[in-house]
Amino acid sequence: MYILLCGYPPFYGDTDPEIFASVRAGRYDFDSPEWTNVSHEAKDLISNLLLVDPTKRLTADEVLQHPWISGSAPRSSMTLNPNIFSSLKRFTGNNKLKKAALGVIADLATESEIAELKNQFMAIDTDGNGVITVSELAEALRDTGLGMIEEEVLELVKGIDIDGDGLVDYPEFLAATMKRNLSNQKEHLINAFNYFDTTNTGSITKADLVQFMGSEEQAQEIINDVDANGDGVISFEEFVAMMNRKGYGDDSELDSMDDNSFLSAQFSGAPAQAPIKETEL
């Protein structure tokens, strides 16, 4: 919810230990310009959800009764863009590495770059609780004349839901719906590549992938899918080729708006820049 309203997480630090220390201490604020026009009720709700003591945090029922949710939660008046759903469907055809990489890039995007997507998310999230449920997505599909049977909507949510909680949260929605001219910016691709290159070797190894995929079997599946030259690792060029790969729905009008052909020329034979440490992302 904090991220939904301002575009960045509440806890920061230069290293993981510093971030964890901020979380434990409950150090966050509403001082940045992004919070200027956010209501007191919204800030109050967030404050009661970020309490260090879990016994003092609001329960789910209490959150639903909070004034910001029950009466003052922001609603988007924007008309839903049917192309959003084409993008969501396409996202489900990506492998886990590309989904995670798009999530990293979404986290790097500026508020202005994702403003339209934020409105689209809020238009689908009709109860304003910061996540899209299966029923909300089904209703949005019906409203745009793209009705799907329940099983199809469940499969769509499953394909978008990176963390496996059965819901589509804001970062997942951004990862799935970003325009290609944003997700394929050279700087974003380099930062995403280096995020997964945890050992700073200039390649994404199986060991790197195990940290993110959760198992050697899944990591090997990614290697088999992306490693074009068969050397057992994923180079930057292979990573870019994966990000440029077409998925479900790429023959749609949505994709014709985002010409991606420049990637091959821009990155062909170009080595990755000096690795960027994970804590710099």
pLDDT at 214: 82
pLDDT at 264 over 60: no
Mean pLDDT of the chain: 80
Q: With a cut of 70, say whether residue 127 has pLDDT above it.
A: yes
Tell me what the mean pLDDT of segment 197-217 comes to.
91
**Region(s) of the chain under CATH 1.10.238.10:** 90-281
CATH superfamily, domain 90-281, is EF-hand (1.10.238.10)
The distance of Cα 171 from the centroid of its chain, to the nearest Å, equals 3
CATH 1.10.510.10 fits domain 2-72: yes
pLDDT confidence of residue 18: 84
Q: What is the pLDDT of residue 212?
A: 87
pTM of the model: 0.61
* Alpha-carbon distances of 148 from 82, 145, 156, 252, rounded to whole Å: 13, 9, 10, 18
Q: In the chain, which residue ranges form alpha helices assigned H by DSSP? A: 2-6, 16-25, 40-49, 60-65, 67, 82-92, 96-108, 111-124, 134-143, 150-160, 170-177, 180-183, 186-196, 206-213, 216-226, 236-244, 253-256, 262-267
The band of 274, judged by pLDDT with boundaries at 50, 70 and 90, is: very low
Cα 246 to Cα 238: distance, rounded to the nearest angstrom: 14
pLDDT at 227 over 50: yes
* pLDDT at 249 > cutoff 50: no
The pLDDT of 229-255, averaged and rounded, is: 75
Which residue is associated with the tokens 């749609």? 252
Q: Where in the chain is the domain with CATH 1.10.510.10?
A: 2-72
The backbone torsions φ and ψ at residue 135, rounded to the nearest 5 degrees and listed phi first, read -65, -40
Residue 220 scores a pLDDT above 90: yes
